[in-house]
Amino acid sequence: MLWHKCHNKRILPWKEEKDPYRIWVSEIILQQTRAEQGILYYHRFLSKFSSLKKLADAPLEDIYKVWEGLGYYNRARNMHETAKKIMQNWQGKFPSDYDSILSLKGIGPYTAAAISSFAFRLPYAVVDGNVFRVLSRFFGISAVIDSTEGKKLFSALAQDCLDASLPHLYNQAIMDFGATICKPEQPVCNTCNLKRKCFAYKNKKTGELPVKSKKKEVKKRYFLFLIYKYKGKVAIELRFENDIWKNLYQFPLIEVNKASLFENPSEVAELKLIHKKNIINITKPVKQQLTHQLVYGKGIICKGKPDANQQQKLEWVAVNDLKNRPFPRLIHQLMNQELTELLSEK
């Protein structure tokens, strides 16, 4: 707490915030996003949806558009559902007890503790990656932090360490300490005021703690997007499947299961049905790294229309209107200046 008062220089727009709606927005954004990147989205989100009611009343597509680029779009979908539930069940007022907050969709123990302590000064300890790291190193705990047993152990320890009289300050202090001093790589141990009592520092184990489970194997996927151009318009479709990018738009997609087919699209059976003279160009490959997937993409630019069966699920939009629809980052990489100019040509 002394470090937080005298030495913590980390400035973030949501610190000292007491409005539970704004705290909730910041915490959901930060679930899978670095704080430095999250600042821009935090301001952008609140400028568009300044209140819980505005969020609840907004079309989901508008929320996705503001969220565009953050990834993990189920966070935005859950926020929309939760906002509507609060409007219906709590008359638009954010619930003020931990159990009610925890019952809301998309809110787990960490987020519930953060909102409870920061907005309502309730004595609940937050346990995020920064807290795991500080506690593991300081106390010398080698339990796997992302295991069920490890989560229970660290949650109990964090609660024991909490300053119940000032939970908001303590929680902010330990998270900032982990982010700026007890960092994942190259922790600033020489200036750390806890080093004399820190197990990891005294035993030269800062590089070994905390202990995480082995990473899952990254799955590679290969997407070929058919970019149909017809009378100044381009065909797009909405992703409905329970897969990545659900409820975002894309160009009609062919997914191939081999890198060789991705590198040589002319060998793909579906593309053989498109006459060669109707294929204008093939874009350079792009890629997007997701948590457990690495997705590669190419655009196959075509003249004319697809077959009648495929057209049923397509929407034709003007090239200039593409910017108003929410697309995954991979497709934004495809839609570079060169492609936009090509599509705009008559």
Contact call for residues 113 and 27 (beta carbons, < 8 A): no
- CB 181: neighbour CB atoms within 10 A? 20
Residue type, 236: I
Residue 326 phi, psi dihedral angles, 5° rounding:
-80, 120
Distance of alpha carbon 67 from alpha carbon 176, whole angstroms: 25
Q: And the tokens for 154?
A: 């660290």
Active site residue 241: no
- Judged by DSSP in three states, 285 sits in coil
Bridge partners (DSSP) of residue 124 are none
How would you class 27 by CB atoms within 10 Å of its CB: exposed for 0-12, middle for 13-18, buried for 19 or more?
buried
Q: What is the 3-state secondary structure (H, E, C) of 167-227?
A: HHHHHHHHHHHHHHCCCCCCCCHHHCCCHHHCHHHHCCCCCCCCECCCCCCCEEEEEEEEE
Q: 301: closest CA among 258, 251, 264?
A: 251
Contact call for residues 118 and 171 (beta carbons, < 8 A): yes
Strands 219-230 and 293-303: parallel
Question: CA torsion sign, 327 to 329 to 334 to 337?
Answer: positive
Contact call for residues 343 and 319 (beta carbons, < 8 A): yes
Name the catalytic one among 16, 17, 27, 36: 27
Distance of alpha carbon 239 from alpha carbon 201, whole angstroms: 49
Q: Name the residues annotated as catalytic.
A: 27
